[in-house]
Chains A and B, each alone.
Chain A
């Protein structure tokens, strides 16, 4: 008995020592990469930070929900590596003139339950999104007429020039669903999960959703393009792992194949680990502070400008992305069409910031901010220290990603953080994020400017010179008004097991999980 006890004690102490010393080099080797490919069962496990909120594509604008749905549900268009819209369900489409478009669907598209998908279903889905979803409302608002010509052909007439219509149609809220099934779900005769299993079309259909734990998508072998563009894996599992460290560990130990929410904090360990690969993609994603212009604190432009002068971007980059990126003083991402580099001349200048505060007549200010992730929390601590210098007392709360839209729309916070990437169609993007149409939805800053709205509207033209000039003007206006304080642009990273192929990343995010395989 005594010996057993001594053994136990020794074990405990060994554990303490081992854990204490830490930084033992990753020895790997238990399951080396080549073997993983050989006995691959066709299942790809992806770890992400939060669960799917609900299965109605019009009901939620949450990033992780949308990411999952992008793989599950076909839209008429999808966005590719350069965030350009490419036709998926559409065989051909044509912009007849400034306002009129005609589209022809591919042949043989069927819903999961085998019923054919027609132009009627497309119309129903898009119009439903316009009615029920806030992003659908701003995206499909300009559609004036939606005419179904025959089962495979439909025409759209927009109220004004709307070059970004294909991009708009690639949004998940415009996913093509079976009218019959959606009506059943809306009437409460079946669940939305049933719709995802029967009444939609895409490369996968929904296998199961264990709330809080995982979602399984099963490859749709009846997909109309299965041989050329179908799923290369048999099953996609989305596992919900809130802890960043755990997500990384799971890929390192082989419990998961891909971590799409990789935290650069673990970069050094992962680069040294032969079992995993860090996939990098250039990105123009810009991390920024969003100042709520509708709040009392930031209603004054000079106070917002003071913030832009007071924040030390180098420090933010260091704590937010471990230095993997470049500081940015503009409010928009450098690769945006019509980008102007720092037109307002911001730099880290506390004196200038203090002067602006004095000019605004503000001596002390209480500001409430919302943060979503560990990295944002660290950045916000830097911002907190910086703003203290100019008399702004910042407190912040951790909130969930999924409720940020609502919280900001309800003016519950004066400040939050987000990251945006370059968009192929900036006028569409900025209309939603910085225009009057986006207020209450994606326009977290509640930014309202007649000038900016005019510039956004003017950019919606086929005349390249006018478009360029308007977008440059827009960029200048926004940098002057600073509803967004740019901090830095970062590269995109994704962590995968060694041997994993086909991880697609675009300027914004990891996308198209159907090509991932060993």
Chain B
């Protein structure tokens, strides 16, 4: 297991560098002159040249990229073109909000969706199943920012029971995390339902029932344990989508997180901050995928064996 984990961890390094490369390349192609932004219009040509050299933007692309990666390993995300400070200053203050929000949303999605999926599967083709399925299909398809606006209208404006914006208290996190979890919740519900259906028809459940295990134990112990694996995978795969969704949700709910920092930075052409936000998100997503893979391997030893033997996953 340790060996497997180590191998996966090592594999993260080239992937991360690849991610940085892709993001850096896109941003390299984005128009905009940082020096003019940083120095203002009164700068002398000498100062402009000096600053260009200091920022390293007259270097060739690969030199810039290489320096960026080296700096990154020491925790430096470069200088913001907007504030003139290190990007990490704003980025690191934004990260906790996004992480809290994402984790809450993930937890919420798992807690609600798995029972819902199970109920739908157990009561297949009955009203409960149709209700859950309808809810799930709407949830997967609903634009989250629209859901967010609707939730604010309902809970903050008409009912006045929850704050509409900000991060002042734990209550402020309720609406954004519900909104954020909406899509994921729905897709896990769908996955859980279909994997549960599959498992319930599996031979070993039939065997268990035949051997006199009660229906309840068969469903909630034997079947659920196996049917939960795809749900965890779906949660892991969609973690990136979840974090990406923060772009719109953090704007709607005025959460000063990474998503809002990203969209604000795009609007002000602050390329280093945009890169910082994307790289952070990508690394987080990679780590979560790693954790999910480990969980997966822990639950299902066949995968681990395959990975160790074949050296790669299909």
Selected interface stretch from B57-65, B68-76, B234-242, B263-271: B263-271
The interface centre, meaning the residue of A15, A253, A406 with most chain B CB atoms within 10 A of its CB, is A406
A250 within 8 A of B: yes
Selected interface stretch from B15-23, B152-160, B190-198: B152-160
Known: A211-B256, A246-B254. A54 touches B93 (CB 8 A): no
Contact partner of A211 (CB less than 8 A), chosen from B33, B93, B166, B254, is B93
Tell me the nearest residue of chain B to A19, going by C-beta: B150
- Distance A409 CA – B163 CA, assembled complex (angstroms): 40
Interface residues of B in 285-305 (CB under 8 A from A): none
Contact partner of B156 (CB less than 8 A), chosen from A9, A18, A22, A253, is A253
A213 and B166 within 8 A (CB)? yes
Known: A30-B160, A241-B165. A212 touches B154 (CB 8 A): no
A343 within 8 A of B: no
Selected interface stretch from A70-78, A354-362, A380-388, A397-405: A397-405
Tell me the nearest residue of chain B to A16, going by C-beta: B150
Contacts of A255 in B (CB 8 A): 163-166, 168
Interface residues of A in 115-153 (CB under 8 A from B): 134, 137
Contacts of A243 in B (CB 8 A): 165, 251-252, 254
B223 within 8 A of A: no
Contacts of B264 in A (CB 8 A): 242, 400
Known: A54-B84, A253-B164, A410-B36. A12 touches B154 (CB 8 A): no
A246 and B165 within 8 A (CB)? yes
Interface residues on chain A, size class:
35 or more
- Distance A407 CA – B81 CA, assembled complex (angstroms): 13
Tell me the nearest residue of chain A to B157, going by C-beta: A249
Contact partner of B165 (CB less than 8 A), chosen from A22, A134, A250, is A250
Interface residues of B in 185-208 (CB under 8 A from A): none
A9 and B84 within 8 A (CB)? no
The interface centre, meaning the residue of B41, B119, B260, B261 with most chain A CB atoms within 10 A of its CB, is B41
Selected interface stretch from B4-12, B101-109, B127-135: B127-135
B82 and A5 within 8 A (CB)? no
Tell me the nearest residue of chain B to A24, going by C-beta: B158
- Distance A439 CA – B41 CA, assembled complex (angstroms): 8
A317 within 8 A of B: no
- Distance A211 CA – B88 CA, assembled complex (angstroms): 12
The interface centre, meaning the residue of B132, B152, B251, B254 with most chain A CB atoms within 10 A of its CB, is B254
B42 within 8 A of A: yes
A400 and B152 within 8 A (CB)? no
B42 and A137 within 8 A (CB)? yes
Contacts of A22 in B (CB 8 A): 153
- Distance A134 CA – B135 CA, assembled complex (angstroms): 57
Interface residues of B in 73-101 (CB under 8 A from A): 82-85, 89-90, 93-94
Contacts of A400 in B (CB 8 A): 264, 267-268
- Distance A16 CA – B153 CA, assembled complex (angstroms): 11
Contacts of B94 in A (CB 8 A): 211-212
A212 and B256 within 8 A (CB)? yes
Contacts of B157 in A (CB 8 A): 26, 249, 252-253
Tell me the nearest residue of chain B to A133, going by C-beta: B40
Contacts of A19 in B (CB 8 A): 150, 153-154
- Distance A241 CA – B132 CA, assembled complex (angstroms): 36
B152 and A440 within 8 A (CB)? no
- Distance A357 CA – B35 CA, assembled complex (angstroms): 37
Contacts of B119 in A (CB 8 A): 1, 5
B48 within 8 A of A: no
B252 and A15 within 8 A (CB)? no
Contacts of A441 in B (CB 8 A): 40-42
B164 and A399 within 8 A (CB)? no
Interface residues of B in 139-191 (CB under 8 A from A): 150, 152-154, 156-158, 160, 163-168
B137 within 8 A of A: no
A409 and B164 within 8 A (CB)? no
A53 within 8 A of B: yes
Contacts of A59 in B (CB 8 A): 84
- Distance A5 CA – B41 CA, assembled complex (angstroms): 63
A285 within 8 A of B: no
Contacts of B252 in A (CB 8 A): 243, 246
- Distance A347 CA – B168 CA, assembled complex (angstroms): 50
How many chain B residues have a CB neighbour from A under 8 Å?
47
B37 and A253 within 8 A (CB)? no
A398 and B36 within 8 A (CB)? no
- Distance A211 CA – B90 CA, assembled complex (angstroms): 7
B165 and A213 within 8 A (CB)? no
- Distance A417 CA – B234 CA, assembled complex (angstroms): 47
A410 and B40 within 8 A (CB)? no
A197 within 8 A of B: no
Contact partner of A246 (CB less than 8 A), chosen from B83, B84, B123, B152, is B152
Contacts of A398 in B (CB 8 A): 267
The interface centre, meaning the residue of A242, A399, A441 with most chain B CB atoms within 10 A of its CB, is A242
- Distance A53 CA – B33 CA, assembled complex (angstroms): 19
Chain B window 37-56, contacts with chain A (Cβ cutoff 8 Å), 1 for yes, 0 for no: 10011100000000000000
Known: A18-B158, A246-B165, A410-B33. A212 touches B260 (CB 8 A): yes
Contacts of B42 in A (CB 8 A): 134, 137, 440-441
A18 and B154 within 8 A (CB)? yes
Interface residues of A in 233-282 (CB under 8 A from B): 239-243, 246, 249-250, 252-253, 255
Give the shortest distance, in Å, between B179 (CB) and chain A (any CB). Answer: 12
Known: A15-B154, A19-B154, A240-B256. A212 touches B165 (CB 8 A): no
A210 within 8 A of B: yes
A210 and B164 within 8 A (CB)? no
- Distance A5 CA – B129 CA, assembled complex (angstroms): 10
Contacts of A402 in B (CB 8 A): 82, 268
Contact partner of B41 (CB less than 8 A), chosen from A53, A246, A252, A409, is A409
Give the shortest distance, in Å, between B101 (CB) and chain A (any CB). Answer: 13
Give the shortest distance, in Å, between B127 (CB) and chain A (any CB). Answer: 8
B254 and A240 within 8 A (CB)? yes
Contact partner of B163 (CB less than 8 A), chosen from A1, A211, A252, A253, is A253
Contacts of B165 in A (CB 8 A): 241, 243, 246, 249-250, 255
Tell me the nearest residue of chain B to A409, going by C-beta: B41
Known: A212-B261, A406-B37, A406-B40. A9 touches B166 (CB 8 A): no
- Distance A18 CA – B267 CA, assembled complex (angstroms): 35
A241 and B156 within 8 A (CB)? no
Give the shortest distance, in Å, between B154 (CB) and chain A (any CB). Answer: 5
A403 and B269 within 8 A (CB)? yes
28 A–B pairs (Cβ distance < 8 Å), ordered by A: A2-B127, A5-B132, A9-B135, A15-B154, A16-B150, A18-B154, A19-B150, A134-B40, A134-B42, A137-B42, A210-B256, A211-B89, A211-B93, A212-B261, A213-B167, A239-B166, A241-B166, A249-B152, A249-B165, A255-B164, A255-B168, A399-B268, A403-B269, A406-B37, A409-B36, A410-B33, A410-B36, A440-B41
5 further A-B pairs in the complex, CB-CB below 8 A; given A19-B154, A241-B166 = A1-B128, A5-B132, A246-B165, A246-B252, A406-B41
Q: Which 3 A-B pairs have the closest CB atoms?
A: A212-B256, A440-B41, A409-B41
